[in-house]
Structures are given as C-alpha cells and as structure tokens.
Copies of this chain bind each other. A is one copy, B any other.
C-alpha cells in the first residue's frame, strides 16, 4: 500500500547508452535497492585506462538509505564494480551461488573477502530490503544461475529481467521460469526493465544445445589436437566442451588465468562436471598424442595478453601451435575487437593451424546469450507491464526495443528511453520524468580511481599523436643573457638522428625568441614561456605539420 507523499524512483547509473557497467537503482521513500554493479572496458580514446565503473556519488550521498546490492548474474559487466562499490559502501550483496562465487574471486583479489557481506539467494528466496520485497526468477543466459528480479514496492511491482534469452532446450535442463513470469504478469507489473542487447536482431536466438552438437561433430571428425577459445564465464559452453572431450576420449588442459579461476569455482560449486582424471596440466598436453588432447583457452576476443594470442605469436610459456592443430573460436568478436581477433586468426593460419571462425550462423560453434526480437516480445507479453524501460544497450538498441514494445501494444507514452541519470518517478500509478540524479563514469588506471579525468586524457591524446618536446634553458635576468641551453629533448616526436637539422633550427629559434624578449625587458615567466611555446610550435608545424606538446622549462640564477 503506497504511503502518502512517497514515490517510486527508477533510474540507471550505468548500462544505458552503452553495453557495460550495468547499475540500476530502484528507490521507494528512504529505501534504495541497487541492481548489479558492473564494469566496462575503456573506449579507444580512454588512453591508459584499465576499466570504467559507474559514478556512484548518488549512492555515497545516500549511503544510509542503500539497503543492498542485488546481482542478476556473474558477468563482468554486472559484478565487476562490486569491489570498488564496497570500498565506499558497506552494504549486503545478494546473488545466486555461482554469481557470489565469482564475486568472491574479485573480493579476494581486492583484499575485501573478510568484511564483505555476501548473502546467497535462490529463485525461492524472498529478501526484504526496507519497504521493498525482492524475489527472483530464473532466466537463460550465457552463464548459469542467471536470474531476473521482481521488486515489490508499496507503489507496485518493478521487474528487471537481467540478461536473458529463452532457451527451449537449455544445456543444464533448467528452463526460464515461464510460470513465475506469467504469474507476475497476471497479478500486475507496474514497470519492466528489459535487456536490449539484441533488440536489433530479428527472430530467435538459437539454443546453446545446438552449439554442443556442432562441437561434438567437430571433435569426432578431428584427428589432431583441438584448441577451443571461449568466454571463461560461459560455463555451459565449457561443460559442452568437456562432454565432447569425454565422448572422444580427449584429456582437457586449461590455460588462461580467468579460465582457470572460473572453471575452478564452477567445479567446486558443482556447476561443471568433469572427472579429475580427465583434467591435465598444459605441460602434459605437450607430451600426449595430439588426438588425445583438447586445450580450453582464453582469448576468444583476441586479447593480446590472452593465452590464445600468446600461442598465436609463439609466446606462450608451455604451449605452441602445431601444424594441423584445429583451433575453434567459440565466440564472436565484441564490436571493437574485430581487428584483434583477425590478427590472431591470421597468425594461427601462418603456423599451420586450421581455424574455425566466422559468423556464428555459419560455424555453429557460438550462439548469443541475449534474446532476439521475438524473445523480447515474449518477455513483454509474459510480464505485461504498465510502463516499460528498455535497458542494457546502446541508444539505438534501447530505441529499437521501445518500438518492439509499441508493437506488442504498450502505449508510446508509457515507454521511457532513458539516459544515465534520468529518473522515472511513479506516484499513484502515474509515471513521469523527475529531476535527474548525478551519473557518469569513473576511469580506473592502475590503483587510481577517478584521478584520470579529461585533462589527463587530453594530454595523453596529445602526447600519443605527436609526442613532446621539453625545452630547458637557464637565464641570467640581471645580465639579460642565456647562461645555458636552450636544450631540446624530444620523445615520440621524430626519430632524432634523422632530424638533427630540424632540432638545431628549433634551438636557434628558441634562442632568438628569448634574446629578443630580454632586450625588450620582457621578464615575467608566463610571457617568456608562452612566447617560446608559440614560436617553436609555429616553426614545427610549418616544418612537419605536427603539433607536439611543448614544455618550456626556464630557470634563472
């Protein structure tokens, strides 16, 4: 029962207008529930940045109201920011066993394992967070133990699908919980937040089982060694690779840190079945006959430091590609990674390997974990929400998802295509846009959280384009003469040995500029520096059409 004056607020701190760093917030009165806390990998122009997380200043300002973080599944873009958030907010974290298992790895690495309050839930759990009641329903995704979340608030029920597809023949036999979703729809849902990742893709996303059948076929046909690269978190895929290995009497070697981690935790928790005897160390793999070996590896995205990329350039400590090896890329490149993947494929071919790659539709060795248009419409029709908010996608995907919602009959003015920080307020059953909250991104570079901002990135960009020149000169002001220098040191500008005349001329120009200024009795630092900067910059641009950063260091004695 809604309390007078209170209202329901729904917004995102991450995951809108982007794929990654998912973080959604549902607030009723003084109770805040956070759904997911993910990270994102940096855009090309975020030079030197390691990862990007949501700006959680809103949560920090309202720390006393945050009742907990609810995780939908164990992918980086949903759990990757948990350690950073817990450093600033000491709140309980709810998730299914596998999800919390994966979070546990991160917390250990961050040295937060002891103080974190991880609370396992099942699809049967009911969690009360202040005035908000949280229940869960199973969905299919490219990682087991993925759930959607239903939040019952005094204003009504809010449903968040998490990442989902409808797999009618799931590998683990666990179907999406159609009945629970249908019940939610029957009893009335105020607002639905649904995964827009594949909103541009017509039809249905295929079943993971089909991938398993294709892998088995390839394993059977292959007489040489097999190397399969896939996402470490795709536990069901890994299970199917294990099964194919068992079927064809191959031992399994696992390479790549994240792969070892995930397989370890997943086996420990019983999400992966493979008898101990079948697992071998990479070293052993080099001794066994090729046809008795399958290597399970990271690097399906061509990441230069991944195990597969190392093998491809002959830089892996134990494994090297043998002519005849069959390499299966059981994944598709995430936009932006195409070049990396292509390079790895070419390098593997050059080493004589046979590579199975290309559109999943042709190879059959990969399938998306996100539902396509027909599945998104099915979700909308199961939940039958009054209001709809497409989430988890770039703007065009959210927009496409909105059109799908209109197709299934949701009125246009009940659909909210939001940006980060836009707030949907619902009171007495009526939704409207409320005042925005603070939202954005925090860049993480090494141990630095947020100390890399636009100025730093602008400088890195400048430095990366044309390098830097440092001009060092010592003046005697009373004498009005140059005592030492100017010395010009350049980095990333030109290959100096080939450009001596250029640098000599540059030095002359600095000298002349300074002498002129001193005879004109110009003596304040900034004018001296700026004049040197401008003169040098103009000269270098004329000569080279480049604009290196120029750092004049003028000293006096």
Q: Is A467 an interface residue (CB 8 A)?
A: yes
A463-B451 contact in complex given A342-B335, A395-B346, A546-B446, C-beta closer than 8 Å: no
A494-B336 contact in complex given A47-B464, A48-B465, A546-B445, C-beta closer than 8 Å: no
A468 touches B463 (CB 8 A): yes
Q: Is A315 an interface residue (CB 8 A)?
A: no
Residue-wise, chain A 458-482 has the 8 Å CB interface mask toward B (1 for contact) of: 0111111111101010100000000
Residue of B nearest to A49 (CB): B465
A207 to B202, CA, bound (A): 25
CB distance from A292 to the nearest CB of B (A): 28
CB distance from A303 to the nearest CB of B (A): 14
Interface residues of A in 34-81 (CB under 8 A from B): 43-44, 47-48
Q: Is A425 an interface residue (CB 8 A)?
A: no
Residue of B nearest to A340 (CB): B44
What residues on B are CB-neighbors of A394 within 8 Å? 342, 346
Interface residues of A in 205-264 (CB under 8 A from B): none
Q: Is A520 an interface residue (CB 8 A)?
A: no
CB distance from A512 to the nearest CB of B (A): 22
What residues on B are CB-neighbors of A345 within 8 Å? 396
A470 touches B553 (CB 8 A): yes
What residues on B are CB-neighbors of A460 within 8 Å? 463-465, 467, 492
A117 to B470, CA, bound (A): 45
What residues on B are CB-neighbors of A549 within 8 Å? 491
A174 to B495, CA, bound (A): 50
B445 touches A466 (CB 8 A): yes
A495-B456 contact in complex given A446-B545, A489-B553, C-beta closer than 8 Å: yes
Q: Is A277 an interface residue (CB 8 A)?
A: no
A445 to B342, CA, bound (A): 26
Q: Is A355 an interface residue (CB 8 A)?
A: yes
A339-B43 contact in complex given A346-B17, A346-B394, C-beta closer than 8 Å: yes
CB distance from A556 to the nearest CB of B (A): 9
Q: Is A551 an interface residue (CB 8 A)?
A: yes
Q: Is A1 an interface residue (CB 8 A)?
A: no
CB distance from A481 to the nearest CB of B (A): 14
Q: Is A543 an interface residue (CB 8 A)?
A: yes
B555 touches A48 (CB 8 A): no
CB distance from A80 to the nearest CB of B (A): 17
A399-B349 contact in complex given A467-B456, A470-B551, C-beta closer than 8 Å: yes
Q: Is A276 an interface residue (CB 8 A)?
A: no
What residues on B are CB-neighbors of A474 within 8 Å? 474, 555, 557
Interface residues of A in 273-303 (CB under 8 A from B): none
A339 touches B48 (CB 8 A): no
Question: Pick the contact of A551 from B358, B396, B491, B545 — CB < 8 Å?
Answer: B491
CB distance from A447 to the nearest CB of B (A): 5
What residues on B are CB-neighbors of A451 within 8 Å? 494-495, 498-499
Q: Is A200 an interface residue (CB 8 A)?
A: yes
Q: Is A268 an interface residue (CB 8 A)?
A: no
What residues on B are CB-neighbors of A457 within 8 Å? 492
Q: Is A521 an interface residue (CB 8 A)?
A: no
CB distance from A326 to the nearest CB of B (A): 15
A484 to B494, CA, bound (A): 31
Residue of B nearest to A455 (CB): B495
What residues on B are CB-neighbors of A472 within 8 Å? 472, 553, 555
Residue-wise, chain A 330-350 has the 8 Å CB interface mask toward B (1 for contact) of: 000001101100100110011
Q: Is A173 an interface residue (CB 8 A)?
A: no
A463-B467 contact in complex given A445-B546, A451-B499, C-beta closer than 8 Å: yes
Question: With A448-B544, A463-B463 given, can you name 14 additional A-B contacts, CB distance below 8 Å?
Answer: A48-B464, A48-B467, A335-B339, A349-B396, A349-B399, A350-B395, A355-B396, A452-B495, A460-B463, A463-B464, A472-B555, A474-B474, A484-B557, A489-B551
Among A346, A484, A557, which residue has the most Cβ atoms of chain B within 10 A? A346
Residue-wise, chain A 288-330 has the 8 Å CB interface mask toward B (1 for contact) of: 0000000000000000000000000000000000000000000
Question: Pick the contact of A459 from B336, B467, B545 — CB < 8 Å?
Answer: B467
B484 touches A463 (CB 8 A): no
A343 to B498, CA, bound (A): 40
A465 touches B47 (CB 8 A): yes
A545-B447 contact in complex given A48-B466, A468-B491, A491-B468, C-beta closer than 8 Å: yes
